[in-house]
Amino acid sequence: MSRPIIATTSLAGCFGCHMSFLDIDERILDLIELVEFNKSPIDDIKTFTKDCDIGLIEGGCCNTENIHILKEFRKKCKILISFGECAIMGGLPALRNDISVKECLAEAYLDGISTVNKEEILPNDEELPMILNKVYPCHEVVKMDYHLPGCPPRADLIWDVLHALILGTDVELPYEVVKYD
Amino acid sequence: MPKKITIEPVTRVEGHGKVTIHMDDSNQVVQSRLHIVEFRGFERFIQGRPYWEAPVLVQRLCGICPVSHHLAAAKAMDEIVGAGTGDGLTPTGEKMRRLMHYGQIFQSHALHFFHLASPDMLFGIEADPNIRNIIGVALEHQDLAVQGVMMRKFGQEVIQATAGKKIHGTGAIPGGMNKSLTPEERDSFLLGKDPLNVDKMIEWSLGALDFFKSYHSQNRELVDNFANFPSSHLSLVRKDGAMDLYHGVLRAVDAEGKKILHDVDYQKYYEYIGEEVRSWSYMKFPFLKEYGKEKGWYRVGPLARMNTADFIPTPLAQKEHEIFRAYTNGKPNGMSMHMHWARLIEILHSAEMMKELLYDPDITGDQLVTKGNKQYEGVGLIEAPRGTLFHHYRINEDDQIDMANLIVSTTNNNTPMNLAVESVAKDYMNGHAVISEGMMNAVEVAIRAYDPCLSCATHALGKMPLEIKILDKSGNILDKKRSS
Ligand code: SF4
């Protein structure tokens, strides 16, 4: 069998899940023998160049661009994994879910103590994606195949899960890793 | 014909950003912008949370430098619990925080340099994107990749020992810390099995500096001229002018090196610094109020810190600082690629600081927390890996946060990053009818010099593919090209 292909992305996440991935440390050298990487923020592959086996999704969806990318990942990846709490349930950014977008924007761009904005400009350029009314967990947007818990999931768990998927063995999810923090 | 080039997502930059470049009929760049495309609303949604949660909540802005947010929030909370500003903690409390912070600077700079920036140096800016990444480095320059991985690992383990977790730890609490080091933990960092001990880290830091210097000597024109422009520089410095990444007073110097912000107490930072809003980015544009929106912008981060500090208080890094300053005859250095040089000097300084702290008997002490009279407002500043980070909170009678204001490092560099993008876009693209992937990567190289961490700035994070759109005069897309 040819080497499985992995793609990763960060939607409305903090990149901590990707950092935890890098915390597999020297095992990354073993991993690159076992798999091939495609679209990912850690390399320079910006658009899918082929269909992938495993897609790791960090972050939930907070804007239209996130939705677009998540759907693209669903199309291109056989197995899609919600990678960390933000992808699983929106994570900390979902604390905004019972506050209106307008209020959040006003706090950041009009009322901030160091903000100087007499003209009351709000970011609204056509280059900026639209902000969604709330932060959506990934499985509310597309079907997700697995959920890796933690904020972020610990490196050993990431390693074990990838290893199991690559080798087609069972994944152990010990009781103590099924938690937010 | 006029065209618009879009670089999206910017890769090997952990942030949700994209670049648009507009070119006119004669292939001249007429406008370029770095857009931060994500918005998260932290300032609003943490209102109502109890103040002691701030250090663990707000770090979720950024998984690349969570410790910086953890500590800036904890410093603000020190004020709120009446433990004073910066130097009010117990010796063990403060030194544990510092150890955590220098571990963080060390790991983050290692990541920035080895994982994200070195591929452009090792393979060239216009090399095949399929190898121009850390995996390519691991395959072709294994020694260097192993060093980068192990240096980051060492820093992360220091963070784990001080904060409890490598990412999003809980070690710092209002008024101090919740743990100190055990003698076993201390010894593991001092005497750990090769290469995971602090002496090896110092040796490798010096090695990384040699690597950069030899790259510099072979590519002097590129390194010196790439996105080179004058600016003011801002950072915290210790009261005596020394570099201090954990605490100090605010200093800014202009392009000539003259002080324009005179070592002021940061509690009233908002009297000196304002933030402008522009419609095309979620990231605001800070400036020194005294000099206005047009002229008041400044740089922050490793390069700025080399320019503001009078000296570095550890011997090996001080020697390197002298060489760095001599290169521009003691004047502030405005060369964007020298940011990497400055970053490596800070890696060395952090390793030396960790060693000093590990040998300090206070690091295993048991006096962890200071208590005082409750206050209702607190400001915490810290020099994060990518520059000065501002946290400001007010609380109500019920101990809930009712105001939060954050100016993150990357936001402070917003104007300089935009200028760097413009400078490189013009140098590489002006006069070219055909835009290559390499030209677009050059623009990203400029961003990467500042910040692989647009995450904080959006108060989120990501990566970007490159897309070029060729538009007619009325903005209709005539052609579209994507790099892969
Ligand atoms: S789950 Fe935690 S570490 Fe992962 S992206 Fe969300 S906040 Fe960051």
On chain B, the residues whose CB falls within 8 A of the CB of A26 are 146, 149-150, 153
Q: Residue B24's pLDDT band (boundaries 50, 70, 90)?
A: confident
Q: Is A48 a member of any domain?
A: yes
Domain that holds residue A170: 5-95+134-178
Q: Is the pLDDT of residue B162 over 50?
A: yes
A146 touches chain B (CB under 8 A): no
CATH number of the domain that residue B144 is part of: 1.10.645.10
Q: Residue B479's pLDDT band (boundaries 50, 70, 90)?
A: very low
A33 touches chain B (CB under 8 A): no
Q: Which atom of ligand 1 is nearest to the CA of A85?
A: 1
Q: Is A89 a member of any domain?
A: yes
Task: Give the separation between CA B258 and CA A68, rounded to whole angstroms.
Answer: 49
Q: Who wins on pLDDT, B190 or A1?
A: B190
**pLDDT value for B452:** 53
Q: Who wins on pLDDT, B289 or B26?
A: B289
Look at A100-114, B155-169, B189-203 and tell me which has the smallest mean pLDDT. A100-114
Q: Is the pLDDT of residue B137 over 90?
A: no
**Collapsing DSSP states into helix, strand and coil, what is residue A163?**
helix
* Cβ within 8 Å, pair A62-B289: no
Q: Is B484 a member of any domain?
A: no
- Please tell me the distance in Å from B285's CA to the nearest CA on chain A: 9
Distance of CA B122 to the CA centre of its chain: 22
- Please tell me the distance in Å from A155's CA to the nearest CA on chain B: 10
On chain B, the residues whose CB falls within 8 A of the CB of A123 are 39, 277-282
Distance of CA A56 to the CA centre of its chain: 7
Tokens representing B94 are 């403060």
Mutation to test the A interface, candidates B8, B44, B107, B132, most A Cβ within 10 Å: B44
Q: Is B16 a member of any domain?
A: yes
Place of tokens 């300084």: B349
Among the partner residues A15, A108, A109, nearest to B63 by beta-carbon distance: A15
Q: Residue B180's pLDDT band (boundaries 50, 70, 90)?
A: very high
ipTM above 0.90, yes or no: yes
Specify whether the CB–CB gap between B114 and B147 falls below 8 A.
yes
Q: Who wins on pLDDT, B214 or B31?
A: B214
- The mean pLDDT value of chain A amounts to 90
Tokens representing B328 are 């521009």
Specify whether the CB–CB gap between A97 and A135 falls below 8 A.
yes
On chain B, the residues whose CB falls within 8 A of the CB of A109 are 277, 284
Q: Residue B482's pLDDT band (boundaries 50, 70, 90)?
A: very low
Mutation to test the B interface, candidates A3, A17, A19, A67, most B Cβ within 10 Å: A19
| pLDDT tens for each residue of B348-371 | 999 999 999 999 999 999 999 999
Q: Is A69 a member of any domain?
A: yes
Angle of the B142-163 helix axis to the B91-110 helix axis, nearest 10 = 160
Q: Which atom of ligand 1 is nearest to the CA of A17?
A: 4
Q: Is the pLDDT of residue B473 over 60?
A: no
Number of domains in chain B: 1
Q: Which atom of ligand 1 is nearest to the CA of A84?
A: 1
| Cβ-proximal residues to B186 (8 Å cutoff; 6+ apart), any chain | B358, B363, B364
Ligand 1 site residues, Cβ closer than 6 angstroms: A 13-14, 16-17, 58-59, 84-86, 91-92, 151-152; B 60, 63, 167
* Cβ within 8 Å, pair A46-B13: no
Which residue from B460, B476, B469 is spatially nearest to B64, judged by alpha carbons?
A: B460
| pLDDT tens for each residue of B227-255 | 888 999 999 999 999 999 999 999 999 99
**pLDDT value for B374:** 93
Q: Which helix (H) or strand (E) holds B320?
A: helix B315-327
Number of domains in chain A: 1
Cα B48 to ligand 1 centroid, rounded to whole Å? 21
B370-386 as b/e: b if 16+ CB within 10 A: beeeebeebbbbbbbbb
On chain A, the residues whose CB falls within 8 A of the CB of B277 are 109, 115, 117, 121-123
On chain A, the residues whose CB falls within 8 A of the CB of B150 are 25-26
Among the partner residues A32, A42, A128, nearest to B37 by beta-carbon distance: A128
- Residue having the nearest C-alpha atom to atom 2 of ligand 1: A151
A59 touches chain B (CB under 8 A): yes
Tokens representing B174 are 């209002």
Cα B414 to ligand 1 centroid, rounded to whole Å? 24
Specify whether the CB–CB gap between B71 and B95 falls below 8 A.
no
**pLDDT value for B433:** 79
Among the partner residues B41, B168, B441, nearest to A104 by beta-carbon distance: B41
* Cβ within 8 Å, pair B153-A25: yes
A128 touches chain B (CB under 8 A): yes
Q: Who wins on pLDDT, B467 or A104?
A: A104
CATH number of the domain that residue A65 is part of: 3.40.50.700
- Please tell me the distance in Å from B276's CA to the nearest CA on chain A: 5
Specify whether the CB–CB gap between B296 and B289 falls below 8 A.
yes
Q: Residue B163's pLDDT band (boundaries 50, 70, 90)?
A: very high
Q: Which atom of ligand 1 is nearest to the CA of A152?
A: 3
Task: Give the separation between CA B401 and CA B380, rounded to whole angstroms.
Answer: 15
Cα B391 to ligand 1 centroid, rounded to whole Å? 20
Percent of chain B whose pLDDT exceeds 70: 90
The greatest distance separating any two alpha carbons of chain A, rounded to the nearest whole angstrom, comes to: 62
Of B41-50, B179-188, B453-462, where does the model show the most confidence?
B179-188
* Cβ within 8 Å, pair B460-A109: no
**pLDDT value for B9:** 63
- pTM (2 d.p.): 0.92
Q: Is the pLDDT of residue B10 over 80?
A: no
Mutation to test the A interface, candidates B139, B282, B381, most A Cβ within 10 Å: B282
Q: Please, what is the end-to-end C-alpha distance for chain A in angstroms? A: 37
Q: Would you tell me which residues 66-85 of chain A have a C-beta closer than 8 angstroms to some C-beta of chain B?
A: none
Task: Give the separation between CA B161 and CA B171, rounded to whole angstroms.
Answer: 9
Q: Which atom of ligand 1 is nearest to the CA of A91?
A: 6
Q: Is B263 a member of any domain?
A: yes
Instruction: Give the bridge partners for B252, in sequence order.
Output: B234, B261
- Residue having the nearest C-alpha atom to atom 7 of ligand 1: B60
| pLDDT tens for each residue of B424-463 | 888 888 888 777 777 877 887 788 777 655 433 332 222 3
Taking CA–CA distances from B460, the nearest residue in chain A reads A14
Domain that holds residue B264: 3-24+32-457
